[in-house]
């Protein structure tokens, strides 16, 4: 029987993830990441070829959010990205409000 592992931890700004690490952490296929990067729905990947792509660890939260929205609400990728954008904007506005 195959054993699924879920990666958890603290996001560190200076750490980067490979495409395979990001996919594994989100419990999605590698192609899922490729499609969203190429559509501009997931952050910019640094590197030339897909094999060399590296993602800032902060992208992990967005990728997990996208995957959850798509899975839990059967949302298409564009709708999930729009909802993720709105959630992130609300978080930024709340941080500004509490920081003032």
pLDDT by residue for the chain (100 residues), tens digit each?
Answer: 455 665 555 555 678 999 999 999 999 999 999 999 999 999 878 888 888 999 998 899 999 999 999 999 999 999 999 999 999 999 999 999 998 6
pLDDT of residue 1: 47
> What class, spelled out in words, does domain 16-99 have in CATH?
mainly alpha
pLDDT of residue 51: 86
pLDDT of residue 58: 83
Burial of 15 (0-12, 13-18, 19+ CB in 10 A): middle
Q: pTM (2 decimals)? A: 0.83
């Amino acid at each position: 029987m195959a054993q699924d592992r879920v990666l958890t931890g603290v996001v560190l700004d200076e750490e980067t993830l490979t495409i395979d690490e990001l996919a594994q952490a989100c419990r999605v296929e590698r192609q899922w990441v490729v499609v969203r990067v190429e559509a501009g729905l997931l952050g910019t990947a640094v590197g030339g070829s897909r094999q060399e792509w590296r993602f800032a660890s902060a992208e992990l939260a967005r990728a997990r959010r996208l995957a959850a929205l798509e899975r839990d609400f059967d949302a298409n990728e564009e709708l999930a990205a729009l909802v993720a954008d709105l959630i992130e904007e609300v978080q930024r506005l709340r941080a500004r409000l509490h920081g003032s």
